């Protein structure tokens, strides 16, 4: 079945450092890929998405590129802020859009310090 | 953006009792809601898909008689954990979908003593 593997956290960075959170997936066909973010006490929010190979999703300075050849969708940000501290989930859907069934990774906690 | 609420945010109950968790879409109608369970340091696991006015569809391995789901209206779905055991202690998260996207609630922490 479909699965998503994320790097284990927590990831602790100083403000303005470069962030990479690795995500790889296993799926049949051509899934859509997503990054969700969960701030303390809140629900998961869609951060960015990509629906086909070589697509780049971006939002709030975060980027991820759908790499079919390496089955990866790594999350990057050039300069993190304290406000980026949260848990980040990589996910996939067999269909375009998040309205259908999602398969999640385990989540990676990011802690950004001053 | 669309808002989904859950109530309660935390609940402690004794073994053998039942507990109900509510999931509401506050500013949109959701024909479909999803219920997830999250163990510490593990991913969200889809438990069931709840469709308004019909029976829920449970994922393999999820006991439908233990986890009762009712989607009584376009804005409300409930999950009832019946005869709770300590191993049911977990973080339960719901989501509600419109045509394009799922919107997630903040989750409910259930502790069974």
- Determine whether the interchain pair A99/B44 forms a contact, defined as Cβ–Cβ distance below 8 Å: no
Task: Give the burial string for B72-88 (b: 16+ CB within 10 Å, else e).
Answer: eebbbbbbebeebeeeb
User: Can you give the pLDDT at residue A98?
Assistant: 57
Residues B27-74 have pLDDT tens digits of 899 889 999 998 877 788 999 999 888 889 999 999 999 999 998 889
Q: Average pLDDT, stretch B11-40?
A: 93
Q: Average pLDDT, stretch A13-19?
A: 97
- Determine whether the interchain pair A99/B107 forms a contact, defined as Cβ–Cβ distance below 8 Å: no
Residues A69-93 have pLDDT tens digits of 999 999 999 999 999 999 999 999 8
- Determine whether the interchain pair A106/B43 forms a contact, defined as Cβ–Cβ distance below 8 Å: yes
User: Can you give the pLDDT at residue A9?
Assistant: 86
User: Can you give the pLDDT at residue A96?
Assistant: 62
Residues B67-110 have pLDDT tens digits of 999 988 899 999 999 999 999 999 999 999 887 788 999 999 99
For residue A105, what are the contacts with CB-CB under 8 A and spacing of at least 6? A4, A5, A6, A23, A89, A90, A91, B43
B32 interface with A at CB cutoff 8 Å? yes
Nearest to B100 among A97, A101, A107 (CB): A97
Give me B61's structure tokens.
Answer: 């391995």
- Determine whether the interchain pair B42/A106 forms a contact, defined as Cβ–Cβ distance below 8 Å: yes
Say yes or no to pLDDT of A11 above 60: yes
Question: Exposed/middle/buried for B102, CB within 10 Å: 0-12, 13-18, 19+?
Answer: buried
B103 interface with A at CB cutoff 8 Å? yes
For residue B47, what are the contacts with CB-CB under 8 A and spacing of at least 6? B35, B36, B37, B58, B59, B62, B67, B79
User: Can you give the pLDDT at residue B98?
Assistant: 82
Under 8 Å between Cβ of B32 and B96: yes
């Amino acid at each position: 079945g479909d699965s998503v593997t994320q790097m284990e956290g927590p990831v602790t960075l100083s403000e303005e450092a470069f962030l990479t959170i690795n995500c790889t997936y296993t799926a049949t066909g051509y899934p859509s890929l997503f990054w969700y973010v969960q701030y303390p006490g809140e629900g998961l929010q869609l951060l960015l998405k990509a629906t086909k190979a070589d697509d780049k999703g971006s939002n709030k300075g975060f980027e991820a590129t759908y790499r079919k050849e390496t089955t990866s969708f790594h999350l990057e940000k050039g300069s993190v802020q304290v406000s980026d501290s949260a848990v980040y989930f990589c996910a996939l859907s067999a269909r375009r859009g998040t309205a259908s069934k999602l398969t999640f990774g385990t989540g990676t906690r990011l802690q950004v310090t001053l | 953006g669309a808002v989904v609420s859950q109530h309660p945010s935390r609940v402690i109950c004794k073994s053998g009792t039942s507990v109900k968790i509510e999931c509401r879409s506050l500013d949109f109608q959701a024909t479909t809601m999803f219920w997830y369970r999250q163990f510490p340091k593990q991913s969200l696991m889809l438990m069931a898909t709840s469709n308004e006015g019909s029976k829920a569809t449970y994922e393999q391995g999820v006991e439908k008689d233990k986890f009762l789901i009712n989607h009584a209206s376009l804005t409300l779905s409930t999950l009832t954990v019946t005869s709770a055991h300590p191993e049911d202690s977990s973080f339960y998260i719901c989501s509600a979908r419109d045509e394009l996207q799922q919107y997630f609630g903040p989750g409910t922490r259930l502790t069974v003593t």
